[in-house]
């Protein structure tokens, strides 16, 4: 009986030693820089480094997938399944490691030899400085209003939906530190002439008019000409509009299956506004009281405007490297 117990203990110890030998041993080093986090994963086997898959998740977390089970050593200790390094939470499973970063805009992944190491630089979204926040402003124009209903659906209409969406967008942008105003905050009729006058008096960084399309598709309009543009460099206005259209288009294609059209339209609202001006038509589906879809639209506009106004330094650095 004693021999059997001894044999069993020996068998268990041998199995544990075998399992440990098959684990990938990786040393993690971490540094926090002014614009990014740097994670360095060092491993004796170079094939392991080249087999690790690194992904930036939509919520700003970083996911690393390893080819085999692994253990991570940080500052002389092995990380547990739920651990932390500095102020970052770490979740570890059999072949997966999640680093709970937030507000990450882009990651840069590099692999090196001698020693074999994986370097992940995680660039966070740069927060606007107080001076830049004061310089940034947005005027949102909810389409239609009063006796002008716009599109009419069975349950709702364009004037109400454009106002609701505009108010929600404005509220979220204000929380982000972007000064935001509305051409109307109630169900009232405002002429095109008065809307343009408001835009030209306020001189916002962007004049954004929100409407619904007549089908299940997006349309973004800009004007090919500017009738009352100031005499300083007008090309800056068109360049800003083109940049914002590209940002909106990218966000729409990433998050929606509906078609997107962009069009140059010399509409009075766009043509006579001094500064950068866009008109966006969103799918009429929002009139069907689908809250999830409507919130998705609101998120889209908030994200696109925020990205359009944020500082360029991080993206330019990455692009130039």
The CATH number given to whatever domain includes residue 33 is: 2.60.40.3500
- Residue 156 pLDDT greater than 80, yes or no: yes
- Residue 110 pLDDT greater than 50, yes or no: yes
Residues 275 and 291 in one domain: yes
Locate 17 and state its tokens. 């030693």
In the sheet that holds 218-222, the strands lie side by side as 179-182, 137-142, 206-212, 277-282, 218-222, 260-264
Residues 144 and 102 in one domain: no
Residues 116 and 140 in one domain: no
If pLDDT is split at 50, 70 and 90, which confidence band does 144 have? very high
β-pairing verdict for 88-92 and 137-142: unpaired
- Give me the torsion for CA of 232, 238, 241, 243, rounded to 10°: -110
Nearest one of 231, 233, 306, 237 to 273, comparing CA atoms: 237
pTM equals 0.57
Domain count for the chain: 2
Judge whether 10 lies within some domain. no
Residues 253 and 296 in one domain: yes
Residue finishing a domain among 124, 156, 176 = 124
Which residues 6+ apart lie within 8 Å of 216 measured at CB? 258, 283, 284, 285
Residues 108 and 230 in one domain: no
Output DSSP code: residue 146. Answer: T
The SS3 assignment for 12 reads helix
Judge whether 3 lies within some domain. no
Give the C-alpha separation, 71 to 131, whole Å. Answer: 46
Judge whether 86 lies within some domain. yes
Residues 137 and 159 in one domain: yes
Q: Which domain holds residue 24?
A: 18-124
> 85: number of CA atoms within 13 Å, CB side?
28
Residues 189 and 292 in one domain: yes
Residues 155 and 46 in one domain: no
CATH no. for residue 189?
3.40.630.40
Residue finishing a domain among 63, 93, 124 = 124
Judge whether 6 lies within some domain. no
Residues 194 and 239 in one domain: yes
| Cis status of the peptide bond prior to 62, with omega within 30 of 0 | no
Residues 169 and 309 in one domain: yes
- Residue 117 pLDDT greater than 70, yes or no: yes
- Mean pLDDT: which of 14-23, 47-56, 207-216, 288-297 is highest? 207-216
The lowest-confidence range among 51-60, 134-143, 229-238, 259-268 is 229-238
Q: What percent of the chain is predicted at pLDDT more than 70?
A: 83
If pLDDT is split at 50, 70 and 90, which confidence band does 58 have? confident
If pLDDT is split at 50, 70 and 90, which confidence band does 297 have? very high
* Rg of the chain (C-alpha set): 27
Sign of CA dihedral 19, 21, 24, 29: positive
Which residues 6+ apart lie within 8 Å of 286 measured at CB? 161, 165, 212, 293, 294, 297
Judge whether 5 lies within some domain. no
Judge whether 150 lies within some domain. yes
Judge whether 1 lies within some domain. no
What is the CB neighbour count within 10 angstroms for residue 263? Answer: 11
Judge whether 163 lies within some domain. yes
Token look-up 């500052």 returns: 75
Residues 213 and 248 in one domain: yes
Contact present, 194 and 265 (Cβ < 8 Å): no
Give the C-alpha separation, 200 to 190, whole Å. Answer: 15
In this prediction, residue 36 carries a pLDDT of 85
Average pLDDT value for residue range 66-81 = 92
Residue finishing a domain among 124, 156, 189 = 124
Residues 180 and 305 in one domain: yes
Contact present, 269 and 139 (Cβ < 8 Å): no
Output DSSP code: residue 129. Answer: P
């Amino acid at each position: 009986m004693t021999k059997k117990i001894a044999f069993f203990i020996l068998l268990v110890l041998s199995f544990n030693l075998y399992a440990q030998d098959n684990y990938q041993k990786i040393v993690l080093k971490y540094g926090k820089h002014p614009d990014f986090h740097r994670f360095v994963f060092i491993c004796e086997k170079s094939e392991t480094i080249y087999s690790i898959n690194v992904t930036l998740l939509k919520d700003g977390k970083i996911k690393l997938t390893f080819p085999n089970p692994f253990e991570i050593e940080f500052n002389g200790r092995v990380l547990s399944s739920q651990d932390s390094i500095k102020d970052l939470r770490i979740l570890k499973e059999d072949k997966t490691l999640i680093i709970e970063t937030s507000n990450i805009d882009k990651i840069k992944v590099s692999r090196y030899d001698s020693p074999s190491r994986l370097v992940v630089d995680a660039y966070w979204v740069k927060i606007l400085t107080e001076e830049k926040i004061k310089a940034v402003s947005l005027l949102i124009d909810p389409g239609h209003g009063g006796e002008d209903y716009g599109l009419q659906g069975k349950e709702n209409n364009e004037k109400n939906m454009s106002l609701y969406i505009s108010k929600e967008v404005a509220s979220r942008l204000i929380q982000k530190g972007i000064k935001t105003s509305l051409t109307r905050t109630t169900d009232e009729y405002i002429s095109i002439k008065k809307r343009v006058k408001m835009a030209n008096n306020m001189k916002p960084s962007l004049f954004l008019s929100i409407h619904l399309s007549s089908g299940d598709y997006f349309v973004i309009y800009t004007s090919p000409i500017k009738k009352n543009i100031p005499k300083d460099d007008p090309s800056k206005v068109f360049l800003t509009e083109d940049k914002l259209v590209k940002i909106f288009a990218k966000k729409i294609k990433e998050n929606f299956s509906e078609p997107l059209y962009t069009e140059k339209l010399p509409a009075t609202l766009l043509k006579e506004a001094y500064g950068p001006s866009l008109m966006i038509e969103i799918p009429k589906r929002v009139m069907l009281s689908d809250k999830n879809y409507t919130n998705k639209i609101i998120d889209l506009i908030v994200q696109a405007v925020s990205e359009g106004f944020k500082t360029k330094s991080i993206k330019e650095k990455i692009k130039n490297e």
